[in-house]
Amino acid sequence: MIETIRRKIEECCSEQGWPQTAFTVERPRDRAFGHVSTNIALTLSKELKRAPREIAEELIRHLQGKIPDLSAIDTAGPGFINFTFSPAYFQAFITRIRKSRADFQRELRGKDRKVQVEFVSANPTGPLTIGHGRQAVLGDSIARILEWHGYSVTREYYFNDAGRQMRMLGLSVLARYRQLLGEKADIPEGGYEGEYIFDIARDFRRQFGDSVSAEPLSPFIDFAAQQIFGTIRDSLQRLGIRHDVYYNEKDLYSSGKIEAVLKELEEAGFLYREGGATWFRASQFGAEKDRVLVKNTGEPTYRLPDIAYHKEKIRRGFDLIIDIFGADHHATYPDVKAALEALGYATGHIRVLLHQFVTLTRDGEKIKMSTRKANFVTLDELIDLAGADVVRYFYLMRSMDSHLNFDIALAQKQSDENPVFYLQYAHARMCNILVHSKEKHIDSYEAADLALLQEPEVLALIEIMIEFKEIMELCHSTLEPMYLTNYLYRLATAFHKFYTVHRVVTEDVALSKARLQLVDAVKTILANGMYILGISAPEKM
């Protein structure tokens, strides 16, 4: 609808020799101004030095007959052009939706293109928190959006199994292990104090006995990492999230890729040493100051393995690389991209998405979270409280740029106040209507006169269904699933409004069949959208 009108306007302006100008083609909020409105005449007014309404009227004359299924084109206000479509235009979409089903308005923009989406990548030092959960659901939903557009998607988890945090994990488990043996031992400064560390120590003792030496520390580290990562993977599976690749940070060290990056940067003249540390000349690439890659203790900073890892991503030949990080990474990723550019790699196909944090409220109180102190709510606890579908939807209701307040009280309600219940109930109601139509002696509604669908509530519902393509294009360009959650809620609202005003199965069999086809089409769009969000579409509730 909007694309067709824009194209015809551009063609018309070109035929008249009018200059190109930016203009909008959009749906007005007030249907008194038609289904689509444009400000092209106002934007051309300065260029042509003519009154906007005069330009609008001339454009209307040239557009007459060039846009199918229009019932009216008129001017309004200072020179807006309003387009009103005929009922037949909307009715035709019912057949198109039911014929295409899951492929309705699907454009394979990513056909033959490979994309890697890295998300979660939480350190295996504790169970996933509600903050990790937001990134997990965002990553999986973005991957689903890309798959819907035809991309071949690799979901990847970067397994941080090296570095200081893993040593602190090992020392924490060792301390709890020694305590279980009756020895005096304290968690080291900066260690992990959660009850889960006791659980790991108990499992370690059961498997390896009471005589394990504190040196080397690696048995404690490896066992703890394996245990915790198993928990992480189980938590993600509860949300229907899987990863195709788990890339180990350790491999970057054992394979020599870390040393190779340092050598390449040094040979290119982008490293120097100061205060016993190795610095990267990040300031030459727009950073405020240079960055330490290796501390004076000889320990690499987290930027160094990230550079080596992204070099590997590029080497693997993805057409698009998407990194999803928490907002605390905002100062890190520019340095990684700068180092890659210093090594001669193009980084234009690397897209970094940052999401804000999550606050969980309980009894009106914010719950503090700290992995080390273990004063946090785990993702598993949140799923237990609200259910996987609700958790997924609530994580996607707001833009990733916005801080998310997760309202547990609302999430646990099984009423129309809960948007997930609202969507799922709409889908279940549609399924029930279609199933029970046979009890009303309508064995089939395949042959229906869709011209009977004339009511304002019906046409308004179909108009929202038609928007699905535009919404998916917006999700594709912004990689923001929020637009789809909002759209599905509007769709469900329009359906409930229609259903409140009009019975589907009536004494008029012909009208009943037409409305059953409408319900079937709405159900298709709603189910498609819920699948892309990773939310179940129940047939009964």
Sheet of 36-38, strand order: 25-26, 36-38, 80-85, 70-76
Report phi then psi at 528, rounded to 5. -60, -50
pLDDT of residue 375: 57
How many CB atoms sit inside 10 A of residue 505's CB?
21
- Cα–Cα distance between 151 and 513 in angstroms, integer? 38
Instruction: Check if the beta carbon of residue 330 is closer than 8 Å to that of residue 336.
Output: no
Domains of the chain (ranges, CATH numbers): 2-85 (3.30.1360.70), 119-253+356-412 (3.40.50.620), 415-533 (1.10.730.10)
pLDDT of residue 374: 53
**Integer-rounded Cα radius of gyration of the chain:** 29
- Cα–Cα distance between 423 and 433 in angstroms, integer? 16
Joined tokens for residue 82: 């309003």
Helix axes 456-466, 87-100, angle to 10 degrees: 50
The owner of tokens 């043996």 is: 181
Joined tokens for residue 295: 């501390």
Per-residue pLDDT of the chain (541 residues; tens, 9 = 90+): 788 899 999 999 999 999 999 999 999 988 888 999 999 999 999 899 999 999 999 999 999 989 989 999 999 999 999 999 999 999 999 999 999 999 998 989 999 999 999 999 999 999 998 999 999 999 999 999 999 999 999 999 999 888 888 999 999 999 999 999 999 999 999 899 888 999 999 999 999 999 999 999 999 999 999 999 999 999 999 999 999 999 999 999 999 999 999 999 999 999 999 999 999 999 999 888 999 999 999 999 989 999 999 999 999 999 999 999 999 888 889 999 999 999 999 999 999 999 999 988 776 777 665 544 455 678 999 999 999 999 999 999 999 999 999 999 899 999 999 999 999 999 999 999 999 888 877 888 999 999 999 999 999 999 999 999 999 999 999 999 999 999 999 999 999 999 999 999 999 999 999 999 999 999 999 999 999 999 999 999 8
Q: 3-state DSSP call for residue 345?
A: coil
Helix axes 2-15, 52-63, angle to 10 degrees: 100
Helix axes 509-533, 419-436, angle to 10 degrees: 140
How long, in residues, is the chain? Answer: 541
Which residues face 247 on adjacent strands? 158
Which is nearest to 51 in space by CA: 74, 59, 28, 25? 59
Q: How far is CA 112 from the centre of its chain?
A: 22
Joined tokens for residue 415: 């009423």
Which residues face 453 on adjacent strands? none
- Sign of the dihedral defined by the CA atoms of residues 161, 167, 170, 176, in that order: negative
Q: What is the pTM of this model?
A: 0.92
Joined tokens for residue 279: 């610095």
- Sign of the dihedral defined by the CA atoms of residues 304, 308, 309, 311, in that order: positive
How many CB atoms sit inside 10 A of residue 350's CB?
20
SS3 content of the chain, % helix, strand, coil (to 5): 55, 15, 35
Joined tokens for residue 126: 């504790």
pLDDT of residue 45: 94
Q: Show Cβ contacts of residue 419 under 8 Å, excluding neighbours closer than 6 positions.
A: 393, 397, 485, 489
Range list of H helices, 402-508: 408-411, 419-436, 456-466, 468-478, 482-501
Q: Show Cβ contacts of residue 313 under 8 Å, excluding neighbours closer than 6 positions.
A: 116, 118, 321, 350
